[in-house]
Structure 1
Amino acid sequence: MKKALFWTIYGLLLVAVTIGGLEFAATFLTPPWPAYELRPIVASSAGMRQIKTLANDPKSIPFYNSWGLKDEERSVERPADVRFRSVFVGDSFLEGMFSLTPLSELVAKDWSQRGIEDSEAINLGISATGPPQYYYRIKSVALRLQPDAILELFYSGNDFVSDRLSSWSIPPLVAERPQPSLLGAVAPHLDWLIVNRLSLSEYGRGNKSIPNEFDTLNDITKKPLAERAGLLADYYKKNYFPDASRQALQEVFGRGGATFWNPFERTDDEREFLQGWLFANLVDWELLHPTWPAPKDEAEAERMVDPAEIEATLSWLLGADRLALSKGVKFLIAVAPMAAVDPRYAAYWQPWPRYFSQNRRREAARRVLLAELSKRGLHPIDLAEDLKGISGTYRLTDGHWTELGTAIVAKRLAAELLKVRDSVPRQADQKR
């Protein structure tokens, strides 16, 4: 018995010392706080310049601050001259695609044009994240910034989740920060390093690692028009779908004719880029998975709404509201519609009805979610009210907002946040 106890204690001490040593070493290989709590990968403008396609188009290269965010430099402590501080939490719609001006910056500009210079809109938008990450980002970072308001942007296309928020669930061994994990509780830098190196994050799992893929794909847009669909078919057969027929792949890519290629040939701010993950999804829906549910109309889409998915998603949004409320912070949630509300986008994707059908399905889920949020007292901001029917508000390929779409949303959110600002007592009034 004594011998077993000795070896048990010895083993635990050995594990503790090993983890402690690795954690110490990992601090030299990870970004500082809060950057390592925010992103699973290091984001830098210098890294983006290594991509030839973007190097030849420098206006598409974003700026990242020391926190790894597409924002101006911020301080953890609230500046003395800031009367109202808001924090935006969300995914790539907040981060802004390529060099797109971030939503938070346009909100601040709107305030400045109104003569309001004592308010902040901090951007905590991280691509390829969802409600669980939003919840823990609010808990671990946003609330530490001493905000008056937190605005969570929910995108209907990929923010619905199936796992509920639960205080009783056992965390995994490692997890994308700031989500909890067993290792992260004692060695957060080591946890970040493992997730980063092994591509265990949502971003890493969702993007196939193919060297020079971005440049290779976008070089195809410079080839003669008649060759492009075939070159895309060759690329995807080699790298994504070796068992698929080349002829079938070429047929999928060739359906849109010259119109399909127009967004990639532009030289202005609305130029778009071929991205591997996006057209892999197109092939999945149009060719490889004919049994995947593809609603033909709104009525069929309504029947496909999964109540369990709605409840699971609600649990994270309601949980975020409780987190903010516990600190006396106002919580707002803005719900972004699918790109199908843009007539230009809807027309572009007509040749691919199965792929486009997911817009109907997610729009149906969005409407149900809005109704449930209202029932629970959250009073969501429905951005479809501002965007529906306006052409040119969404990018044609990846479905993010254009400059026009971002500007429209910024105007709405700036006004909504001013209502909160007006309800926050001035510091001088608080001292009386």
Structure 2
Amino acid sequence: MSRRKRWVFGTLFGVILIAASLVGIEILSSFYVPAWPARAMNPREPASVRHLATPFKNQPWLADPDNSWGMRDSERTIEKPPGAWRAIFVGDSFVDSRFTPLSLPAAVQQRTEPSHKIEAVNFGVAATDPRSYYYRIRDVAVELQPDAVLLFIYAGNDFMAPNSGYSILPNWVDESPGGALLGLIMPRTNWLVVNRLDLAAFFQSRIKAPPRDDEMLYAAIISPPEERQKRIISYVKTYVYPDLPEEKIAEILSRGDNRFFNIALPQKEGEQEYLLDWMFGTLMSWEARDFDVARSREDAKRKADNKSVEATFSWIEATDRVLRKRGVPLSVFLVPMGSVDPEYVEFWKPWPRAYSWNYVCDEWHAQLAAALDKAGIRHVDLRPTLDGIPGTYRKMDGHWTQKGEALVADRIKAELEALRGGRPIAKAP
């Protein structure tokens, strides 16, 4: 055999071997990866049972299992039920809403007349952003014959980095398989790589806490006041900010008559607040460091780089294009920060540096609303619905309370009725 023939044969054999190996890896991955559409939407495995740590047992809905799609929802079918009007809710933890008895879609559906046959489908995945929303809609939602898609943008953490605007170029690996080169070729393998290597934003946001740290924090919370402070300060020193002096940690956490220590005390009535590990990192990263922050909403204009708004808007605009091609209406809901709730504002007064993030996000919120107006993209600003009403936001994690969710659900119901009737956007009451 000539050298040329050997080279051609070797090349072909190598290509076949690589292709066979890739196919084999994808087949093997299928034994460890959730079925579609779960693997296209959520980097975490669906939980059929959730086990609650001691501090969460007084709110049993926190243990709601996922459906087979990895969502906090009842089981759904790919084919739309006969006669149903299907609305798909896309967003992050504000849609999933684990801290309330009902997810946001379930709260809305509860308010609709059974005769209307509205099917409110939950596509809310915590710790995701507009890029993930785009692929969740493009690759999954449009395949479910939706009559409308509702997209929720939270001002607190949904604004993209200035250099992260819409692009047709995929990443090598991504928590959204449709946005990854590996995901386009080997979607199951992409999910497995993201899940096992903790590459999704949800995994990366967690601190390296000890096992059963929720119970450790709960034990500290329910201990006597003098011991409570020592145990919490020790936790922060050990697991969050080991390089920060204990005196500085104590000074920051004890402000406002020790409200940060006491907010999560067990409640007999009302909604339970929780002291979770990530909250320390958020607070300390602002209050223990010296960098320029916005001192008011007006001052935030110099800090709120509009390139973040432009990047975020580009993904919303791309989502709108996808749905327009399918003839599916899109309604974007702008979710404000807790700064609309007077009780939330009062609670955070002792920590002005941490609270300053609200000013920046409020400015971004206003800029995005203006951009949507200019582009003619249908949207609902939830600020008028919530502004000035106390008790609508949880103080620690910043999500809606049951009261806040109820007000929002009523507003969404009005918008769904307008969408179903083909009417212009319904004005806020």
Report deviation, 1:379: 3.5
* Amino acid in the other structure paired with 1:109: Q
Show the 5 A alignment for 1:208-357: 208-210=207-209, 211-260=211-260, 261-268=262-269, 270-287=271-288, 289-291=289-291, 293-357=292-356
* 1:54 to 2:53 alignment: no
Structure 2 alignment gaps of length 5 or more: 424-429
Report deviation, 1:45: 5.3
Aligned CA distance change for structure 1 residues 271 and 55 (closer, same or farther; 3 Å):
closer
* 1:366 to 2:369 alignment: no
Contact 2:155-2:336 within 8 A present in 1 as well: yes
> TM-score, normalised to structure 2's length?
0.92
* 1:16 to 2:15 alignment: no
Q: Secondary structure at the match of 1:333?
A: strand
Which residue matches 2:75? 73
Contact 1:301-1:360 within 8 A present in 2 as well: yes
> TM-score, normalised to structure 1's length?
0.92
Report deviation, 1:209: 3.9
Supply the distance in 2 between the matched residues of 1:56 and 1:362 (Cα, whole angstroms): 33
Show the 5 A alignment for 1:16-35: 16-35=19-38
Q: Secondary structure at the match of 1:335?
A: strand
* Amino acid in the other structure paired with 1:252: I
Contact 1:149-1:329 within 8 A present in 2 as well: yes
Contact 2:86-2:148 within 8 A present in 1 as well: yes
Aligned CA distance change for structure 1 residues 104 and 384 (closer, same or farther; 3 Å):
same
Report deviation, 1:259: 3.0
Supply the distance in 2 between the matched residues of 1:346 and 1:164 (Cα, whole angstroms): 32
Report deviation, 1:410: 0.6
| Deviation by residue 1:278-308 (Cα, 9 ceiling, x = unmatched) | 2211000000x211x4211111102222121
Aligned CA distance change for structure 1 residues 45 and 265 (closer, same or farther; 3 Å):
farther
Give every structure 1 segment of 4 or more consecutive aligned residues whose post-TM-superposition deviation is greater than 6 Å. none
Report deviation, 1:22: 1.5
Q: Secondary structure at the match of 2:179?
A: coil
Structure 1 alignment gaps of length 5 or more: 425-432
Report deviation, 1:369: 0.9
Q: Secondary structure at the match of 2:279?
A: helix
Aligned CA distance change for structure 1 residues 116 and 98 (closer, same or farther; 3 Å):
same
Aligned CA distance change for structure 1 residues 185 and 166 (closer, same or farther; 3 Å):
same
Report deviation, 1:49: 1.0
Which residue matches 2:388? 389
* Amino acid in the other structure paired with 1:237: K
Supply the distance in 2 between the matched residues of 1:190 and 1:178 (Cα, whole angstroms): 9
Contact 1:225-1:258 within 8 A present in 2 as well: no
Supply the distance in 2 between the matched residues of 1:45 and 1:28 (Cα, whole angstroms): 17
Q: Secondary structure at the match of 1:366?
A: helix
Q: Secondary structure at the match of 2:64?
A: coil
Aligned CA distance change for structure 1 residues 43 and 276 (closer, same or farther; 3 Å):
farther
| Deviation by residue 1:354-392 (Cα, 9 ceiling, x = unmatched) | 001100110011101101110000132010010000000
Contact 1:86-1:149 within 8 A present in 2 as well: yes
Supply the distance in 2 between the matched residues of 1:341 and 1:68 (Cα, whole angstroms): 32
Supply the distance in 2 between the matched residues of 1:417 and 1:373 (Cα, whole angstroms): 19
Supply the distance in 1 between the matched residues of 2:272 and 2:280 (Cα, whole angstroms): 17
Supply the distance in 1 between the matched residues of 2:98 and 2:267 (Cα, whole angstroms): 16
Contact 1:232-1:253 within 8 A present in 2 as well: no
